[in-house]
Amino acid sequence: MLTSKQRAQLRGMAQHMEPIIHIGKDGVTDNVKTQADDALEARELIKCTVQQNSSFTAREACDELCSALGADGVSVLGRKFVLYRESKNKKKIEI
């Protein structure tokens, strides 16, 4: 679990990032989970977006990915959300 100070630090780091995971009308599929898992292992911090035609809200998609991948939800704002998970092999972010 992240503290509020850690969450604020990660939110600041993610502010200028572009979304790399896009969730469409099919929702959170196995393919999306695999992509997010690989991205979290490589980067530790990723930004995701939920397309307008999706039946998911950003909060629902964030919660589902967090539980499936063991990640922490950093923030949810509009249709975008940020996930953090410490890398097992390539730790880059010190919080």
Residue 93 belongs to some domain of the structure: no
Instruction: Return the CATH number at 67.
Output: 3.30.110.60
23 or 95, greater pLDDT: 23
d(CA 41, CA 51): 24
Residue 59 belongs to some domain of the structure: yes
Residue 90 belongs to some domain of the structure: no
The mean per-residue pLDDT over the stretch 1-14 comes to 93
> Is the pTM above the cut of 0.85?
yes
R_g of the chain computed on alpha carbons: 12
Residue 94 belongs to some domain of the structure: no
Q: Determine the structural domain holding residue 24 and report its residue range.
A: 4-84
pLDDT digits (tens, 9 = 90+) for 51-89: 999 999 999 999 999 999 999 999 999 999 999 999 887
Residue 49 belongs to some domain of the structure: yes
Helix (H) or strand (E) holding 17: none
The mean per-residue pLDDT over the stretch 25-41 comes to 94
